Structure 1
């Protein structure tokens, strides 16, 4: 029993002596929290389908000893409502008095966005808040989380559209007919578009009337509509005399417009893109 008591006393003296030696060392180290700053949130990708963001955070270690990043969490709020959130276990060692940075990638589709926020379909821009927290293992202090936050705006991309606005008969003869096909281009965005070319095919009542590539350059201003006039010539000898009766008949025509349009955006990141065309409907022939 005496040996046990003596052992406990010796252990206590040893621990007391160790703490007395360790405490000045800890005071000398003066352990502080790391400094985390949100440097930028960059728009890395923009298309008709969605948006790619990248947040860059800088880390500064003010201590003489190294610290470890254990991971980060994030939450993206759209119009003050939670939209995306997650956590990533990412380790990174920051040396004493060292600096480093990490990137947090975020991607989402407009389909996903509009499903959650239907009112944004007609909005010109999107308000968002990015909240993130970095978790560190710091000597003496243990595990700590340091939060950062920013609120910014993103451009909203709305799908341009092509539609058949009118089909007018300009000449009807014994061997053929001339018509004018009018297409309307609608740009619902808050930035301009340039039509580079248009590859099209126009089918009426199951018969191909015309196809071709339009190289006409056309600028469609922000929230504006423009019309494209395409001449159509029908040869009854090649396409059949039944076309003559079809054009004389006042009944509406069944049509299908297919093809691809090459457009260029005034937003550099969006740049040039292709828009597929596939529209069906009924139209009355103007005379």
Structure 2
């Protein structure tokens, strides 16, 4: 009897391991806005759903680093779902306090940008498997807003 149970477990494990899973890509990080408390940047995440049904997103967690220091981190709970057989683009707001930007003066003064690394975890709820986190990472430069950006109304 235990041999039959082991065969069933192995069969299910093999099917789950070979099951097609959603794929994600972190495409860009851009300036979104500024207010009294912080500067907001937006990260664009494209998620491809291989299934016919929508998949709920449990949460999106992020850590923004500059010069090997964490300058922003957070979690966005329950941001929606990924439509079936489509690619959904998610906009993830990343808020950086002004006090943190002041501590990065040396990097900012060189070229008016912040060299960054954004680590993002997209946790989705897959049928049968349960919660599955897709890790994403991107390095680049974030241009800081000028006075024109701050006062320019779109």
- Do they superpose with TM above 0.5? yes
Stretches of structure 2 lacking an aligned partner (at least 5 in a row) = none
Q: Which residue of the partner structure matches residue 104 of structure 2? A: 117
Match of 1:155 among 124, 132, 143: 143
Give 1:133's aligned residue.
Answer: 121
Q: Aligned residue for 1:98?
A: 86
SS in 2 for 1:105: strand
Alignment check: 8 A CA contact 1:129 1:152 kept: yes
Mapped contact 2:120–2:135 kept (Cα < 8 A): yes
Instruction: Indicate conservation of the 8 Å contact 2:71/2:100, yes or no.
Output: no
Q: Which whole-Å deviations, capped at 9, do the CAs of 1:139-188 have from their partners, x for residues lacking one?
A: 1222110011111213346xxxxxxxxxxxxxxxxxxxxxxxxxxxxxxx
- CA 1:121–1:91: 2 relative to 1, 3 Å: closer
State the match for 1:269 in structure 2: 149
C-alpha distance in 1 between matches for 2:79 and 2:143? 33
- State the SS of the aligned residue for 2:136: strand
**Aligned-residue CA RMSD (Å):** 3.3
Q: Is the 8 A contact 2:56 2:82 kept in 1?
A: yes
How far apart, in 1, do the equivalents of 2:87 and 2:125 lie?
Answer: 16
CA contact (8 A) 1:36 1:57 kept: yes
Distance in 2, matches of 1:50 and 1:122, equals 19
The Cα of 1:35 is off from its aligned counterpart by 0.9
1:77 counterpart = 2:55: no
Name the structure, 1 or 2, with higher relative contact order (CA <8 Å, separation 6+). 2
Which blocks of at least 5 consecutive residues in structure 1 are unaligned?
1-15, 158-190, 192-264, 273-287
Aligned residues: 143
Whole-angstrom CA distance in 1 between matches of 2:120 and 2:141: 17
**1:117 and 1:63, CA in 2 relative to 1: closer, same or farther beyond 3 A?**
same
Contact preservation (8 Å) 2:29, 2:142: no
